[in-house]
C-alpha cells in the first residue's frame, strides 16, 4: 500500500485464508475495509461461507480454490484477484502443511508435498504477485516455529 492509500482501499490476497490464522487475517483485513481474495485447498463450504459473511457485512471477498503446492494454481489465484479487484496491494502467504512420521516411516511423497506447499509455494506466490504490487505494497509470509524447533518424535522430516 502506498502511503497515500488508506487501509480500506487495499486489495489483499491471502493464500491459505479459509480457516484458522488465515481466516482471522481475512476477517481482519475485511473489517478494516480491504477487498480480500483468499485461497483454500479443501472445504469449499467453509471458504464460501466466510466470503459470503464478509459480503453480507458490507465487505468484498472472494474464495478461490488453489493448492499452494501447485505453482500454476498460485499464479491463477493472483490472476483471479487482479481480474476481480483490478490490483493487488497486499500478499499474505499463510498456507502450510504438516505431516508427521518417524524418518524411517516418512514417505518421500509426503516430504515432497510439504516442500511443495511450505517452500516452493511461498516462492511461487512471491514470484507471481510481486510484479503487481505497487510501491509500498506489502508481502507477509507466515512460517512455523516447527521449522527450527523439533520437540518430539515424528518431526525430523519437516522442511
Residue 5's pLDDT band (cuts 50, 70, 90): very low
The domain segmentation of the chain, as residue ranges, is 7-147
Mean per-residue pLDDT for 140-154? 68
What is the reported pLDDT for 99? 83
Q: Give yes or no for residue 81 having a pLDDT over 80.
A: yes
Q: How far from chain centre, in Å, is Cα 113?
A: 16
Residue 26's pLDDT band (cuts 50, 70, 90): very high
Class of domain 7-147: alpha beta
Q: Tell me the pLDDT tens digit for each residue of 35-53.
A: 999 999 999 999 999 999 9
- The H-or-E segment that residue 63 falls in is strand 60-65
Q: Give yes or no for residue 27 having a pLDDT over 90.
A: yes
- Maximum Cα interatomic distance, the chain, rounded to a whole number of Å: 54
Q: In what order do the strands lie in the sheet with 90-93?
A: 60-65, 35-40, 11-15, 90-93, 138-141
More confident residue, 4 or 85: 85
What is the reported pLDDT for 148? 58
Report how far apart, in Å, the C-alpha atoms of 95 and of each of 14, 49, 99, 126 are: 8, 19, 14, 13
Amino acid at each position: 500500500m502506498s502511503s497515500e492509500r488508506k487501509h480500506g482501499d487495499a486489495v489483499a490476497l491471502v493464500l491459505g485464508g479459509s480457516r484458522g490464522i488465515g481466516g482471522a487475517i481475512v476477517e481482519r483485513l475485511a473489517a478494516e475495509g480491504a477487498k480480500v481474495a483468499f485461497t483454500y485447498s479443501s472445504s469449499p463450504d467453509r471458504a464460501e461461507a466466510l466470503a459470503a459473511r464478509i459480503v453480507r457485512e458490507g465487505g468484498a471477498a472472494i474464495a478461490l480454490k488453489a493448492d499452494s503446492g501447485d505453482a500454476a494454481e498460485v499464479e491463477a489465484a493472483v490472476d483471479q484477484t487482479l481480474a476481480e479487484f483490478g490490483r493487488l496491494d497486499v500478499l499474505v502467504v499463510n498456507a502450510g502443511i504438516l505431516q508427521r512420521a518417524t524418518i524411517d516411516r516418512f514417505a518421500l511423497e509426503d516430504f515432497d508435498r510439504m516442500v511443495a506447499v511450505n517452500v516452493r509455494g511461498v516462492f511461487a506466490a512471491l514470484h507471481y504477485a510481486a510484479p503487481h504490487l505497487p510501491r509500498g505494497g506489502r508481502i507477509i509470509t507466515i512460517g512455523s516455529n516447527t521449522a527450527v524447533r523439533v520437540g518430539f518424535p515424528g518431526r525430523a522430516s519437516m522442511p
